[in-house]
Amino acid sequence: MSYRVTLIPGDGIGPEITEATRRVLEATGVAISWDVVHAGADVQEEFGTPLPEHVLQSIRKNRVALKGPVTTPVGSGFRSVNVAMRKALDLYVCLRPCKSYHGVPTPYKDVDIVIVRENTEDLYAGIEFEKGTPQAGELIKLLAKTHGVAVRADSGFSIKLISETGSRRIVHFAFSYARANKRKKVTAVHKANIMKFSDGLFLSVAREVAKEYPDIEFEDRIVDNMTMQLVKKPQQFDVIVAPNLYGDILSDLCAGLVGGLGLAPGANIGDKAALFEPTHGSAPKYKGLNKANPMAMMLSGVMMLRHIGEEDTADRLEKAIADVIAEGKNVTYDLKPEAERAQAMGTSEVADAVIEKLRERGS
Ligand code: NAD
């Protein structure tokens, strides 16, 4: 069987890690035909937008996409291509596993956490009012009337939006993921003690949904306490479900626990399409240097193989990557102990080493 998959190389280190990942996926023997399309600042001039419609069309048609990171200019210009893509395709789940691999230089062992982050709401909904605009002024007047608060005239606003519908579907996803993957516990993360009508709503929906899954343990944590507990004893957590912003921050924190962003894969999943990409960004300082670790994107490829039903191949590729990490020879700088950084391998050599392991495993 052949799969048609949309491939978006991205920018910065994106093209290098995408090429490395494409090579290892092809080496597994799975027949994938790639529909290569481009998004980001590099196509802005040609198409008048960093996210051309044909890119979205390709993902809608193929229903599966693999994507490298795309740079978002800070402060001005377009909003994030990544956020826009998730919204346009209603990819409401951001799934980010953080797992310890033997041989990674990190003080934490036996971490196996899956973060289920809501991907479309919260402070990322894109509802903002710029300082000094008539709309910001209207809002300031409204707040004076409804809440009796004197908001400073030079304030900007980003609205935190959490709906019952959005909360319900993400918490359901977390529990059904836990059940399907033989996980034992779901922890909901929030700040409901302060934000009663947004995080409070998320928490009350989570409690309600939890009752439908009596076979899975449920607990909740306030986000600040959660960060402390994750750093102290991450092994106590299993599946974590969180609104967008906390999920984003906790994903990077958990990536740090298992050895850094170079090992943190991710998936954005909706009812009609799924897009697989590493948690990390485009790391512009490493662009074109053959230095970045391609394993987060390779592991995103592993998630993609599982998603399309190629479980055995996914296991084989994950083991090949794990073998390369455990040997510690053919890994990039971020997986080398400080004293051995000079012997670090490049992005493409890591791909060669993973392909070699796949061959040894008989593919
Ligand atoms: P980043 O993840 O690109 O890099 C942070 C640091 O992590 C890097 O300087 C590097 O030291 C390390 N790092 C990241 N990926 C690595 C890899 N594969 N191998 C080795 N080291 C790696 O974060 P940033 O610098 O905050 O963001 C750069 C750009 O990427 C921004 O424009 C941001 O908006 C964008 N971004 C895109 C996505 C995406 O496309 N999904 C996600 C996050 C950030």
Q: List, for residues 186-243, the tens digit of each pLDDT value.
A: 999 999 999 999 999 999 999 999 999 999 999 999 999 999 999 999 999 999 999 9
347 lines ligand 1 (CB under 6 A): no
How far is ligand 1, taken at its centre, from the CA of residue 119, in Å?
Answer: 18
Judging by DSSP bridges, how do beta strands 64-67 and 93-99 pair with one another?
unpaired
Query: Would you state the structure tokens that stand for residue 79, as one six-digit string?
Result: 């909003």
H helices of the chain, in order, are 14-27, 41-47, 53-62, 81-88, 134-147, 164-180, 199-210, 223-232, 244-257, 295-307, 311-327, 347-360
Asked whether residue 48 carries a pLDDT value surpassing 90, the answer given is no
How far is ligand 1, taken at its centre, from the CA of residue 35, in Å?
Answer: 25
Is 248 a residue of the active site? yes
CB 313, CB 305: distance < 8 Å: yes
CA dihedral 103, 107, 112, 115 (to 10 degrees): -120
CB 324, CB 357: distance < 8 Å: yes
Is 35 a residue of the active site? no
Q: List, for residues 283-327, the tens digit of each pLDDT value.
A: 999 999 999 999 999 999 999 999 999 999 999 999 999 999 999
Residue whose CA is closest, atom 37 of ligand 1?
A: 281
pTM for the whole structure: 0.92
Query: Would you state the structure tokens that stand for residue 295, as one six-digit string?
Result: 């394993």
Q: Which of 87, 99, 160, 191 is catalytic?
A: 191
How far is ligand 1, taken at its centre, from the CA of residue 151, in Å?
Answer: 35
Residue whose CA is closest, atom 15 of ligand 1?
A: 280
Pocket test for ligand 1, best of 261, 297, 336 (most atoms within 8 A of CB): 261
Domain extents in the chain: 1-97+262-363
Q: What is the CATH number of domain 1-97+262-363?
A: 3.40.718.10
How far is ligand 1, taken at its centre, from the CA of residue 282, in Å?
Answer: 5
Q: Hunting for tokens 């959660």 — which residue is that?
A: 226
In the three-class reduction of DSSP (H, G, I as helix; E, B as strand; rest coil), residue 239 is classed as strand
Residue 294 CA: which ligand 1 atom is closest? 18
Is 124 a residue of the active site? yes
Q: Which long-range contacts (CB under 8 A, 24 or more apart) does 286-289 make?
A: 286/12, 286/13, 287/11, 287/12, 287/13, 288/16
**Separation between Cα atoms, residue 132 and residue 126, nearest integer Å:** 18
**Separation between Cα atoms, residue 118 and residue 233, nearest integer Å:** 24
Q: Comparing C-alpha atoms, which of 133, 231, 131, 215 is closest to residue 181?
A: 215
Q: What's the mean pLDDT in 349-353?
A: 98
